[in-house]
Structure formats: C-alpha cells, structure tokens
Structure 1
Amino acid sequence: ERMYGIGEPSITDRLIDFVTADTGSFYVVPSIEALEAIGVTPPTAD
C-alpha cells in the first residue's frame, strides 16, 4: 500500500520512481558507500 501511496497520507515508497517492475519482484542493492556509511564493510575478493 505504501508503495503506491494508498496507506498513510503523503508516505510513499519512492523506489517506484526509479524502477519498472517486469515480474512482480525486484531487488535493491545499496552502494558500497551506503553500506560503509552504516558501518557495514563488504568482504574483499581473494
């Protein structure tokens, strides 16, 4: 409901402004910078 603005007034999920659903499922992967900003360090390649 929030995704389409049906729920609480003026609360929407802006993700649909940037993606187009083709199958009904989608994945969002945060950037390395965003992960580091919250204290998560991605593993390094061996």
Structure 2
Amino acid sequence: MFNNDVDRLSYYYQKGWAKDAQLRMYVQFEVISPKQYTEITGNEYVLS
C-alpha cells in the first residue's frame, strides 16, 4: 500500500494516527528529513 516511509507517515498524519511530536521523532531517528516533516505537516521543523 505504501511505497516508502514518507507515504506511510503522511497517510497516518492525515488520518490523525500520527501527531507532530511523533513525526519529530522520526526526523531525529533519520527516518524522514526535516524537509519531509514540513511537507507532511505544513509546519517548519525546529530543533527542540
């Protein structure tokens, strides 16, 4: 169903199954890039 992690996480985010905090963790673990985080959420990725 999903070609890659970005597609999967984007779908989960749209469904409300993944939240911003969870996606930030995926960036920290280098599963997705900060740019991909922004594309999925519409929010700028800021290091915390």
- The higher relative CO (CA closer than 8 Å, separation ≥ 6) is in 2
TM over 0.5: no
Structure with higher Rg: it is 1
TM range (shorter): under 0.3
TM-score by length of structure 1 reads: 0.26
